[in-house]
């Protein structure tokens, strides 16, 4: 079951540039690098907004058969 991270009093910083992040619901926003979400108590994960061919590549646990099926 998914649980939101605890409410934090401390300022969270962008892992890329170090600027303070703005809290938006369950997400954190950097004006320069976009949205991040908390994955555990100390890890921020960047949310990709790209919709290009790079996101359509197979992941390590996917098979060539899954790729061929999605093309049909």
Which residues on neighbouring strands pair with residue 31, listed in sequence order? none
Whole-prediction pTM value?
0.55
Whether residue 30 is predicted with pLDDT greater than 70 in this model: the reply is yes
Domain ranges of the chain: 12-49
9-29 pLDDT tens trace: 578 999 999 999 999 999 999
pLDDT at 37: 92
3-class secondary structure, 10: coil
Q: How far is 38 from 1, CA to CA, in rounded Å?
A: 15
Half-sphere exposure of 17 (CA within 13 A, CB side): 10
Confidence of residue 66 (pLDDT cuts 50, 70, 90): low
Whether residue 52 is predicted with pLDDT greater than 60 in this model: the reply is no
DSSP string, 12-67: PB-TTT-PBPEEETTEEEETTTEEEEE-SSS-EEEPP---SGGGGSPPTT--HHHH
Whether residue 59 is predicted with pLDDT greater than 80 in this model: the reply is no
């Amino acid at each position: 079951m998914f649980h939101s991270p605890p409410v934090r009093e401390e300022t969270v910083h962008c892992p890329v540039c170090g600027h303070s992040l703005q809290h938006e619901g369950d997400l954190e926003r950097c004006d320069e690098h976009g949205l991040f979400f908390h994955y555990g108590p100390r890890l921020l994960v960047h949310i990709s907004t790209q919709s290009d061919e790079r996101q359509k590549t197979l992941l390590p646990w996917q098979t060539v058969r899954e790729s061929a099926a999605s093309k049909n």
